[in-house]
Structure 1
Amino acid sequence: MSDKGFYTYKGFLDAARSFDGFGTTGDDAIRKREIAAFLAQTSYETRASEAIGADLLTNPDLGATDATISFKTAIWFWMTPQGNKPSSHDVIIGKWTPSAEGIEAGRV
């Protein structure tokens, strides 16, 4: 399948509107930084079936055939803390503060 025309601006906006605060928190510089950083990391693997309201277990091709679902999986990963790391969203908008252990380990 060719990706030509799959990743549309409309698909991105439709998906972004599903996550309160994504690309809309802070001043222009923070909002631009969040979206730029998000787009830079979209190649990471995500798991988002229940969180995004799509049955990807039964129909995994939705992530490759539905632009909104594809963007939703990536935005879910961006907005959701993973294990012992904060969400990228929280880091970018200044909501996350490193712990003393994190500072000691250089995670600031």
Structure 2
Amino acid sequence: MGMVRAAWFLLLLALLAAADARRQKGGETACDKGWECSGSRFCCNETITDYFKAYQFEELFAKRNNSLAHAAGFWDYKAFITAAALYEPRGFGTTGGREMSMKEVAAFLGHVGAKTSCGYSLADGGSLAWGLCYNHEMSPSQSYCDDSNELYRCAEGVEYYGRGALPVYWNYNYGIVGKGIKQDLLNHPELLEQNATLAFEAAIWRWMTPMKRKQPSAHDAFVGNWKPTKKDTLSKSRELAFEHMMTSL
């Protein structure tokens, strides 16, 4: 799975770099007046829509609306951008200058593409073209209800199988993510397979939020806000932060 995520990351990075080259050749200027320029440390940073356009989203997830895709018609660029805008003031895709911002969005969507792909090496367009094929687990092996969790108790008749852009599993994780995005996902986990904007929002919230005590968020680890100690380096905490974020929910 790590190689697949890396391939998605490199593909999107190539798309972004090509678009950036065309943009500079066309004489467009970066950050004329900026945004959030009232006491924000991200003042005059570009937003994601400045360097990641709808056509790039279409190229990256070229087969998501194919008749064979299981979530055809569900995912779109507008849903991603609407969700991302909520976290741009916190630094998602707006931290560390243009190159770092592009790399972060590429890394995030690389994880999304790998987690939701139904492609394979011989598939039409190749495996990378089939990201966002799913919006929920197709054949759950269980209900993912942990009755021992007293803080986030299972709702009667509700199943907590994987849903979303970075699939969420188990009642306690739906409770945690729901609290983070201010939605009652514990009682209504189906929202993540009914509303693409919420599905992206939940995924970005996970990316921006530490998923384990004493570990950084994937965002902070990626952009360098978190600096590993010698002990962290020896324990490979940076790698663990990404891996735990991807597998714990």
Q: Which has the higher contact order (CA 8 A, sep 6+)?
A: 1
| TM-score normalised by structure 1 residue count | 0.87
Could you say which residue in structure 2 is the equivalent of 1:37? Answer: 107
Q: CA deviation at 1:6?
A: 1.2
Q: CA deviation at 1:72?
A: 0.9
1:58 aligns with 2:173: no
Could you say which residue in structure 2 is the equivalent of 1:76? Answer: 205
Q: Give the unaligned 5+ runs of structure 1.
A: none
Any conservation in 1 of the 2:215–2:237 contact (CA below 8 Å)? no
Separation (CA, whole Å) in 2 of partners of 1:61 and 1:105: 37
Separation (CA, whole Å) in 2 of partners of 1:14 and 1:59: 21
Q: Percent identity?
A: 38
Note the alpha carbon deviations across 1:17-60, whole angstroms, 9 max, x for none: 11121111121110111011111223344431011121111211
Any conservation in 1 of the 2:178–2:185 contact (CA below 8 Å)? yes
Q: CA deviation at 1:5?
A: 2.4
* AA of the residue aligned to 2:223: I
Could you say which residue in structure 2 is the equivalent of 1:10? Answer: 78
Separation (CA, whole Å) in 1 of partners of 2:194 and 2:76: 12
Could you say which residue in structure 2 is the equivalent of 1:97? Answer: 227
| TM-score normalised by structure 2 residue count | 0.40
Q: How many residues align?
A: 108
Query: Higher Cα Rg: structure 1 or 2?
Result: 2
